[in-house]
């Protein structure tokens, strides 16, 4: 029996194991939504904005480990997803965005709610499709999921004209897919792996620098084995947090612009950097010419275009991180006869790393009068026992989460790394909660970023999602203000928000419990009450408006040039310390 394109789409999604779709309806996708009306095996989540839908699908993918799906209409519905698509593209997240399109005969005629979404998203998708025949629809969906989830993952857009949704065809979902021009390399070159093993066994000051590829490849166990059998310190990127236990004695913390002193100095003085599933992002390297100047580099990544893109690499290995690490660990075990002697020779290195950890640990000035944002993160970690998924927005609070919440497990840190998208955290938390309904999910947001997608409070309330929202409310766009203070003569241009709206009243307007803490003594009780409440809770923490994120590497500086306090100015990338900080001009 022939079925409609809309029915083919829904049946194909179920064949791919999709259980949840986020989105909003519109004119050209009504046939698809009509099929969804009686669908019992696939849950549709109505969000309040298409950007929120695509971010929720992104958060679902990060927490679940398989593609998230968003379904929206044409024109503005489709273009509203572009930021979320670009966000997923930068962070290598498997995302399927299905957009409706005007009827095929009207494409190119400036029809009502027409947009060339295929052309618009070509630079920020892994691939995209405009479906031209209902007979091709099932195979196109199969290819879309295959491309999104294999190799280096990424977003794929599927644009379906209205007439394709209504046309009818026989349905048989393909068992497999083969694309002649797309064949990711999953197994590393054995000679290169052997070279890497020998380099590791010779190194006196090795450091592992791992990124989001470890999580995407489900290679956390293999990374831990590599570190432990060779006693090598590990530092992670923002996207890699959770890929190696944050409480492990070999963990140095995050590296880069707001990384720890121990992590940055270990990289700076290393003689061998083992880069795993990372891309040498500028926020990690700082001034490239001063990044690990004494080291040789091993670089393991599934995407060959990442190799030698930013940094010269001595031993490149293209392949899936999990597969490569399994082979590398085997190879290292075969040459274990000198391991004890080697570890003994590395004792001065281990001592130096520990000294750096003691010299400049993560710290802040505590107060009994005003809430420090770092204290809020510490208490969230403490009260959750570290057993929570934390979806953060972008800004100062994001860095404090990265510094003070010790992620021990992969897929528990949900954050926008490459694109740095404000407004990501709340809808991403929704996706993560649907992906992991039994997990405690926090959204840690700034008062600025939270307002960019706060309409999704309705999605949380209607679906009774027990998400705990912690707003770090400093009355400004914190990271912008920090840069203006440090590098732009305290010219706070466009960065002061003041305390509007009243977030507790806003939460209550949506039927969500609202709590507020204005003093340090109230913080712990508010968090405890939120966690013990069955439904969603919004917590408004009124924090020190002048608090900055430290350590910090100034833009253009090397990672060894770190600021630990308030500088008066920056000259040629170097901080010049001042004797006393000026009074803050920010609102109390």
Nearest-angstrom CA–CA distance, 546 and 482 = 8
479 as an active site residue: the answer is yes
Torsion of CA 402, 404, 407, 411, to 10 degrees: -30
Catalytic residue among 24, 479, 539, 552: 479
Residue given tokens 């432990």 in the structure block: 228
Catalytic residue among 7, 16, 50, 114: 50
Catalytic residue among 142, 162, 372, 379: 162
- 84 phi and psi, to 5 degrees? -65, -35
SS3 447: helix
What are the strands of the beta sheet with 234-236, ordered from one edge? 251-254, 234-236, 206-210, 272-276, 296-301, 315-318
Closest CA to 492 of 367, 561, 582: 582
The strand pairing partners of 541, in sequence order, are 472, 517
113 as an active site residue: the answer is yes
Catalytic residue among 39, 44, 106, 113: 113
Can you state the angle between helices 520-532 and 373-384, rounded to 10 degrees?
A: 40
- 378 phi and psi, to 5 degrees? -60, -40
- H helices present in 409-491, as ranges: 425-435, 447-450, 457-462, 478-487
340 Ramachandran zone, left/alpha/beta (phi>0; psi -120 to 50):
alpha
Closest CA to 434 of 47, 142, 64: 64
> How would you write 468-489 as a 3-class SS string?
EEEEEECCECHHHHHHHHHHCC
Q: HSE (CB half, 13 Å, CA atoms) of 307?
A: 17
CA distances from 20 to 78, 150, 165 (A): 19, 20, 20
Query: What are the residues whose beta carbons fall under 8 Å from the beta carbon of 29, sequence distance 6 or more?
Result: 71, 72, 73, 74, 100, 160, 162, 165
Q: Give yes or no for a cis peptide into 438 (omega within 30° of 0).
A: no
SS3 63: helix
Nearest-angstrom CA–CA distance, 16 and 3 = 18
341 as an active site residue: the answer is no
The strand pairing partners of 317, in sequence order, are 300
Catalytic residue among 112, 330, 505, 529: 112
> Judging by beta carbons within 10 Å of its beta carbon (0-12, 13-18, 19+), is residue 218 exposed, middle or buried?
middle
CA Rg value for the chain: 25
Query: What are the residues whose beta carbons fall under 8 Å from the beta carbon of 244, sequence distance 6 or more?
Result: 208, 210, 214, 220, 223, 224, 227, 234, 236, 250, 251
Structure tokens given for 256: 């880069």
> Judging by beta carbons within 10 Å of its beta carbon (0-12, 13-18, 19+), is residue 521 exposed, middle or buried?
exposed
CB atoms closer than 10 angstroms to residue 336: 12
Q: Looking at the annotation, which residues are catalytic?
A: 50, 112-113, 162, 479
């Amino acid at each position: 029996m022939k079925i409609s394109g809309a029915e083919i789409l829904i049946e194909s999604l179920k064949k791919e194991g999709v259980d949840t779709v986020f989105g909003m309806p519109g004119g050209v996708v009504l046939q698809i939504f009509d099929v969804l009306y009686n669908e019992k095996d696939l849950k549709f989540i109505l969000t309040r904005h298409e950007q929120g839908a695509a971010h929720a699908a992104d958060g679902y993918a990060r927490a679940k480990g398989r593609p998230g799906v968003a379904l929206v209409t044409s024109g503005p519905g489709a273009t509203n997803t572009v930021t979320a698509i670009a966000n997923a593209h930068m962070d290598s997240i498997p995302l399927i965005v299905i957009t409706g399109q005007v009827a095929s005969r009207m494409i190119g005629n400036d029809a009502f709610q027409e947009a060339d979404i295929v052309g618009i998203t070509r630079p920020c998708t892994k691939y995209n499709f405009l479906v031209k025949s209902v007979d091709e629809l099932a195979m196109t969906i199969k290819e879309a999921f295959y491309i999104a989830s294999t190799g280096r993952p990424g977003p794929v857009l599927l644009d379906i004209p209205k007439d394709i949704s209504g046309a009818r065809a026989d349905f048989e979902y393909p068992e497999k897919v083969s694309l002649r021009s797309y064949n990711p390399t999953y197994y590393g070159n054995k000679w290169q792996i052997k070279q890497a093993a020998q380099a590791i066994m010779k190194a006196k000051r090795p450091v592992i620098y791992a990124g989001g590829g470890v999580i995407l490849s489900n290679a956390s166990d293999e990374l831990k084995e590599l570190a432990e059998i060779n006693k090598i310190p590990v530092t992670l990127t923002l996207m890699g947090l959770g890929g190696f236990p944050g409480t492990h004695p070999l963990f140095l913390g995050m590296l880069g612009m707001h990384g720890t002193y121990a992590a940055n100095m270990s990289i700076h003085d290393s003689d061998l950097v083992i880069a795993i599933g990372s891309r040498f992002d500028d926020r990690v390297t700082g001034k490239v010419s001063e990044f690990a100047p004494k080291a040789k580099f091993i670089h393991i990544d599934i995407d060959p275009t990442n190799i030698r893109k930013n940094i010269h690499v001595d031993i490149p290995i293209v392949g899936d991180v999990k597969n490569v690490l399994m082979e590398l660990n085997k190879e290292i075990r075969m040459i274990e006869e000198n391991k004890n002697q080697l570890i003994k020779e590395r004792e001065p290195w281990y001592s130096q790393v520990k000294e750096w950890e003691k010299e400049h640990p993560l710290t802040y000035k505590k107060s009994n009068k005003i809430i420090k944002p770092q204290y809020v993160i510490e208490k969230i970690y403490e009260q959750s026992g570290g057993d929570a998924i934390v979806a953060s927005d972008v800004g100062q609070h994001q860095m404090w989460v990265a510094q003070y919440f010790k992620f021990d497990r992969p897929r528990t840190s949900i954050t926008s790394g490459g694109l740095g998208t404000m407004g990501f955290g709340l809808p991403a938390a929704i996706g993560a909660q649907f992906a992991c309904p039994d997990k405690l999910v926090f959204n840690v947001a700034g008062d600025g970023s939270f307002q960019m997608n706060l309409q999704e409070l309705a999605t949380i309330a209607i679906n009774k999602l027990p998400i705990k929202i912690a707003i770090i409310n400093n009355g400004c766009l914190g990271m912008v203000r920090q840069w203006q203070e440090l590098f732009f003569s305290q010219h706070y241009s466009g960065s002061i928000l003041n305390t509007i709206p009243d977030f507790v009243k806003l939460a209550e307007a949506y039927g969500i419990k609202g709590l507020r803490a204005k003093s340090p003594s109230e913080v712990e009780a508010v968090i405890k009450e939120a966690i013990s409440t069955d439904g969603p809770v919004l917590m408004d923490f009124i924090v020190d408006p002048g608090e900055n994120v430290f350590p910090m590497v100034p833009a253009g500086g090397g990672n060894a040039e770190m600021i630990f306090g308030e500088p008066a100015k920056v000259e040629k990338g170097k901080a010049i310390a001042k004797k006393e900080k000026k009074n803050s001009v920010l609102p109390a």
